[in-house]
Structure 1
Amino acid sequence: MSGYDSNPFAEPVAENPFNDPSVTQVTHSSVEPVDQYNPFPASDGLATQTTPAAPSPFQPAVLQPSTEPSPQATAAAAQANLLRQQEELERKAAQLDRREQELQTRGSTGKANNWPPLPKSFPIKPCFYQDFSEDIPPEYQRVCKMMYYLWMFNCVTLFLNLLACLAAFITDSSHGVDFGLSILWLILFAPCSFLCWYRPVYKAFKTDSSFSFFFFFFVFFFQVVIFIIQAVGIPSWGNSGWINAFTSFRFNKAVGAIMIIVSILFTMCAVLAVVLLKMVHKMYRRTGASFQKAQQEFSQGVFTSKTFQSAASGAASSAAQGTFQGNN
């Protein structure tokens, strides 16, 4: 009945709100309220993950201390630069020497000489440039190649003629003159025929030169005569022609047989030379060459020659000096 004993008109008793048990438990707890509260509780056994903050891409500027190079380092750098320049100059000088050597081995066409085809280790270098497919027009290549084959065939025949004369000299000492002259004909005719009638006809077909054509006709006519003389085989002329072959066949059949073979080769050279001479003359008439053009080419070649110009200037200077001395 205590509730009824209280005076309803009495002053209400002021109660302390902090005496509430829930409030006092929180205020007297040793755990911080903020740390205890977790607004994102872990669910299903998964812990919360926090993303670390990205580092700043900007770094503070740091000034490096400036150091002056020592005199020794400066001298070493200058010496290394000089050595590098010297090596570069030596390399360029070697390149210039190599180019000069290449130019010396080239012909007037600016291309490296390729004839005769000698090994690179051989002390003698090629003297001429020859390329039928590049230098000679297609309509003249066949005849030009046949002239080249005729020259090679002539050289082989001269060598066999030397062997035949040697065999005749071994069996009969009276053939010593023939053997000596056969050596001379091989040494003389092989290079001279190349320079005097093959190269002119090659140049004539290459450049359509009237002067080269006329020079070829003049020399090759004598070459045909020489082929005929060699095929005849006059005794003591150094040729194993028909006369020497039949004469030797009476004394030694083996030597006579060798000489007959050489006689046949000389006869073939003569026949082929006549045929090729006619073919070259026919092609020469198609080119429109003439004696007047040959004269013009000869005069232009002579007056533009450095040898002729130097000789003319020397003669003029000597004549002027003589005239001056005579007046004094």
Structure 2
Amino acid sequence: MSHFDSNPFAEPASDNPFNDPSVTQVTNSNMESVDQYSPFPEDGTGGLATHTTPASTTPYQPAVLQPSTEPSPQATAAAAQANLLRQQEELERKAAELDRREQELQSRGPTGKANNWPPLPKRFPIKPCFYQDFSEDIPPEYQRVCKMMYYLWMFNCLTLFLNLLACLAFFTNNTNAGVDFGLSILWMILFTPCSFLCWYRPIYKAFKTDSSFSFFFFFFVFFCQVAIFIIQAVGIPHWGNSGWITAFTALSSNKAVGAIMIAVAILFTMCAVVSVILLKMVHSMYRRTGASFHKAQQEFSQGVFTNKTFQTAAAGAASSAAQGAFQQNN
């Protein structure tokens, strides 16, 4: 009758999974429940102290964000102005440096070396304009003749200065000689630089670069210079030259003034004779260099067409002609 006392609606014992012996053993064990578990040990903080890391003692403080403040318009304008002033000073400094370098390059001339002629003191306001070095620029076989041309130029300058003094002495003795004195000043001012630039520098360049054009230019100008030396030695009255005719005219009135003018006439004669001799020597050397008139023409054409001034002038003329033609067509 025991099976009648049980609950007929209960599930059979064999179908209940919690009646399994393994599950029953776990639920009936002495293990603490989850509700009674404490993650902290019973000995308080002793166990934790041995395993915790001490707090950092760094002196740095945590960053504190500050509210950003935009600069005022006045501060922005002042900063921009200061920046512009600084840039302007930098540009002015660079411009001054470029000007200094350009002046140095101009003083060096086309040879890339510092000009040394005329030999002026460093503190002198006028700087040398040319570079001259016979031993470096002129071949050894031409150095002697080139130096003689240089000495002739200096001798001519000295003669022109003495001619001025002689004409002054003649003017003090004869008031009608004022024209001679005035012209002697003009000849000294005119011939001294022109002779250097027109016949001495061309022959220096001709010996230096073996330039046919420089040789031809020298021959043309120096032939005129020889004629001038002869005219000065003759001493035509009222031409500003203390030559032989003027010297004998002054000798008749004042022997001292006449003697001074005769000395100057001798110097003019020496200039004429030496110039003729040097002209022949240069011509003989020119014939040995292989120079010719055809080469001179080529050098002249190349020099003209590569000249920046000529190119600018030609471009301007072409532009003006094109504009004129365009306006006529319109």
Aligned to 2:163: 161
Q: Which amino acid aligns with 2:152?
A: L
**Which whole-Å CA distance do the structure 2 matches of 1:96 and 1:327 have between them?**
47
C-alpha deviation, 1:64, in angstroms: 9.4
| Structure 1 segments (4+ residues) deviating >4 Å | 63-68, 85-97
Aligned to 1:185: 187
**Which whole-Å CA distance do the structure 1 matches of 2:147 and 2:206 have between them?**
13
Aligned to 1:298: 300
CA, structure 1 residues 244+326, in 2 after alignment: closer, same or farther (shift >3 Å)?
A: same
Task: Give the stretch that moved more between structures: 318-327 or 253-262.
Answer: 318-327
Aligned to 2:122: 120
Aligned to 2:176: 174
C-alpha deviation, 1:311, in angstroms: 1.1
**Which whole-Å CA distance do the structure 2 matches of 1:66 and 1:137 have between them?**
82
Aligned to 1:274: 276
**Which whole-Å CA distance do the structure 1 matches of 2:307 and 2:102 have between them?**
23
1:246 aligns with 2:245: no
Q: Which amino acid aligns with 1:160?
A: L
Q: Percent identity?
A: 83
What secondary structure does 1:235 align onto?
A: coil
The structure 1 residue matched to 2:111, chosen from 100, 109, 112, is 109
**Which whole-Å CA distance do the structure 2 matches of 1:219 and 1:67 have between them?**
93
CA, structure 1 residues 136+325, in 2 after alignment: closer, same or farther (shift >3 Å)?
A: same
Aligned to 1:6: none
Q: Which amino acid aligns with 2:300?
A: F
**Which whole-Å CA distance do the structure 2 matches of 1:90 and 1:308 have between them?**
33
C-alpha deviation, 1:65, in angstroms: 5.9
Following superposition of structure 1 onto structure 2, how do residues 11-50 of structure 1 map, counting pairs within 5 Å? none
**Which whole-Å CA distance do the structure 2 matches of 1:301 and 1:94 have between them?**
33
What secondary structure does 2:108 align onto?
A: coil
**Which whole-Å CA distance do the structure 1 matches of 2:60 and 2:142 have between them?**
81
TM-score by length of 2: 0.71
C-alpha deviation, 1:96, in angstroms: 4.7
The structure 1 residue matched to 2:239, chosen from 225, 237, 240, is 237
**Which whole-Å CA distance do the structure 1 matches of 2:317 and 2:95 have between them?**
40
1:207 aligns with 2:209: yes
CA, structure 1 residues 94+317, in 2 after alignment: closer, same or farther (shift >3 Å)?
A: closer
CA, structure 1 residues 269+327, in 2 after alignment: closer, same or farther (shift >3 Å)?
A: same
The structure 1 residue matched to 2:199, chosen from 186, 197, 218, is 197
What secondary structure does 1:296 align onto?
A: helix
**Which whole-Å CA distance do the structure 1 matches of 2:284 and 2:237 have between them?**
37
Following superposition of structure 1 onto structure 2, how do residues 219-230 of structure 1 map, counting pairs within 5 Å? 219-230=221-232
Q: Deviations over 1:32-82 (max 9, x none)?
A: xxxxxxxxxxxxxxxxxxxxxxxxxxxxxxx996799xxxxxxxxxxxxx9
What secondary structure does 2:311 align onto?
A: helix
**Which whole-Å CA distance do the structure 2 matches of 1:311 and 1:290 have between them?**
30
Q: Deviations over 1:94-116 (max 9, x none)?
A: 65554333112121111111111
Q: Deviations over 1:171-196 (max 9, x none)?
A: 11011111000000000000000010
**Which whole-Å CA distance do the structure 1 matches of 2:315 and 2:213 have between them?**
26
**Which whole-Å CA distance do the structure 2 matches of 1:101 and 1:67 have between them?**
61
Aligned to 1:147: 149
**Which whole-Å CA distance do the structure 2 matches of 1:314 and 1:101 have between them?**
28
**Which whole-Å CA distance do the structure 1 matches of 2:96 and 2:317 have between them?**
41
Q: Which amino acid aligns with 2:321?
A: A
Alignment RMSD (CA, Å) = 2.3
CA, structure 1 residues 216+64, in 2 after alignment: closer, same or farther (shift >3 Å)?
A: farther
Aligned to 2:42: none
**Which whole-Å CA distance do the structure 2 matches of 1:64 and 1:116 have between them?**
78
C-alpha deviation, 1:124, in angstroms: 1.3
Aligned to 1:52: none
Q: Deviations over 1:97-147 (max 9, x none)?
A: 543331121211111111111112211111111111111111101100000
Task: Give the stretch that moved more between structures: 255-264 or 104-113.
Answer: 104-113
User: What are the ranges of 5 or more consecutive residues in structure 2 without an aligned counterpart?
Assistant: 1-56, 63-82
TM-score by length of 1: 0.72
What secondary structure does 1:105 align onto?
A: helix
What secondary structure does 1:196 align onto?
A: helix
